[in-house]
Amino acid sequence: MRVLGIETSCDETGIAVYDTEKGLLAHQLYSQVKLHADYGGVVPELASRDHVRKTLPLVKAALQEAGLTPKDLDGVAYTKGPGLVGALLVGSCIGRSLAFGWGLPAVGVHHMEGHLLAPMLEDDQPEFPFVALLVSGGHTQLVQVKGIGDYELLGESVDDAAGEAFDKTAKLMGLDYPGGPRLAALAEKGVSDRFTFPRPMTDRPGLNFSFSGLKTFAANTLAANDNSEQTLADIARAFEDAVVDTLLIKCRRALKQTGYKRLVIAGGVSANKHLRAELEKLMQKVNGRVFYPRTEFCTDNGAMIALAGALRLQAGEREALSVKTYPRWPMTDLEPMQVAKPAAATDGV
For 14-18, 31-35, 156-160, 340-344, which range has the lowest pLDDT when averaged over its residues?
340-344
In this prediction, what percent of the chain has a pLDDT beyond 90?
Answer: 93
- Residue 97 to residues 36, 71, 103, Cα–Cα distance (Å): 28, 15, 10
Q: What is the spatial distance between Cα 197 and Cα 216, in angstroms, rounded to a whole number?
A: 11
- Residue 2 to residues 65, 75, 127, 299, 309, Cα–Cα distance (Å): 14, 7, 23, 23, 10
Q: What is the spatial distance between Cα 87 and Cα 49, in angstroms, rounded to a whole number?
A: 8
Q: What is the spatial distance between Cα 178 and Cα 37, in angstroms, rounded to a whole number?
A: 7
Chain centroid to Cα 87, Å, comes to 16
236-285: pLDDT as tens digits: 999 999 999 999 999 999 999 999 999 999 999 999 999 999 999 999 99
- The sign one gets for the Cα dihedral 316, 6, 115, 152 is negative
99-148: pLDDT as tens digits: 999 999 999 999 999 999 999 999 999 999 999 999 987 899 999 999 99
**Across residues 199-225, what is the average pLDDT?**
95
- Given a cut of 80, whether residue 348 has pLDDT beyond it is no
Burial (CB count within 10 angstroms: exposed 0-12, middle 13-18, buried 19+), residue 117:
buried
- Given a cut of 90, whether residue 338 has pLDDT beyond it is no
**Across residues 178-206, what is the average pLDDT?**
95
Q: Summarize the annotated binding site as residue ranges.
A: 111, 115, 134-138, 167, 180, 272, 300
In what side-by-side order are the strands of the sheet with 289-291?
150-156, 140-147, 130-135, 262-266, 289-291
- pLDDT at site 136: 86
Specify whether the CB–CB gap between 6 and 51 falls below 8 A.
Answer: no
From the list 256, 343, 253, the residue with the least C-alpha distance to 306 is 343
Q: Summarize the annotated binding site for Fe cation as residue ranges.
A: 111, 115, 300
**Which domains are seen in the chain, by residue range?**
2-117+298-333 (3.30.420.40), 127-292 (3.30.420.40)
- pLDDT at site 347: 45
What lies within 8 Å, CB to CB, of 193 at 6+ separation is none
19-55: pLDDT as tens digits: 999 999 999 999 999 999 989 899 999 999 999 999 9
Q: Summarize the annotated binding site for substrate as residue ranges.
A: 134-138, 167, 180, 272
What mean pLDDT, rounded, does the chain reach? 95
Specify whether the CB–CB gap between 337 and 315 falls below 8 A.
Answer: yes
Burial (CB count within 10 angstroms: exposed 0-12, middle 13-18, buried 19+), residue 252:
middle
From the list 216, 244, 222, the residue with the least C-alpha distance to 234 is 222
Please, where are the H alpha helices in the chain? 33-37, 44-66, 85-102, 111-117, 162-172, 179-187, 212-223, 229-258, 273-285, 302-314
**Across residues 303-312, what is the average pLDDT?**
97
Q: What is the spatial distance between Cα 208 and Cα 79, in angstroms, rounded to a whole number?
A: 26
- pLDDT at site 346: 53
